[in-house]
């Protein structure tokens, strides 16, 4: 965190299930994965991430086809599940 206390998210990318997935990560400890709804992206969790990060490793991905994650079919529930499980 910067000295002024503002939250600076760490943006990362990973090859997952045939796509390039963008996610934000913060903190250490037990993982907490925050999944956005439709039609949002990781930014919908911007206030929860810094609140959880002192206690958990927080991961907030942009799901397939949203924001900075690649949009490539298929979009069935099985594929979306595998994207998150990575």
pLDDT-derived band at 7, boundaries 50, 70, 90: low
- Residues, the chain: 86
Structure confidence at residue 5 (pLDDT): 52
Is the pLDDT at 1 greater than 70, yes or no? no
**Domains of the chain: residue spans and CATH:** 10-69 (3.40.50.12270)
Encode pLDDT of 14-59 as tens digits. Answer: 999 999 999 999 999 999 999 999 999 999 999 999 999 999 999 9
Angle at 72 between CA 79 and CA 31, to 5 degrees: 50
Residue 55 pLDDT: 95
Q: Catalogue the E-assigned strands of 1-86.
A: 10-16, 19-26, 31-33, 57-61
With cut-offs at 50, 70 and 90, classify the pLDDT of residue 67.
very high
DSSP state of 44: G
């Amino acid at each position: 965190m910067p000295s002024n206390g503002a939250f600076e998210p760490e943006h990362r990318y990973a090859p997952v299930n045939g796509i390039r997935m963008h996610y934000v990560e913060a903190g250490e400890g037990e993982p907490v994965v925050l999944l956005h709804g439709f039609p949002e992206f990781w930014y919908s969790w911007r206030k929860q991430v810094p609140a959880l990060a002192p206690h958990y490793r927080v991961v907030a991905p942009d799901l397939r086809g949203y924001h900075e994650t690649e949009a490539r079919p298929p979009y069935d529930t099985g594929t979306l599940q595998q994207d998150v499980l990575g």
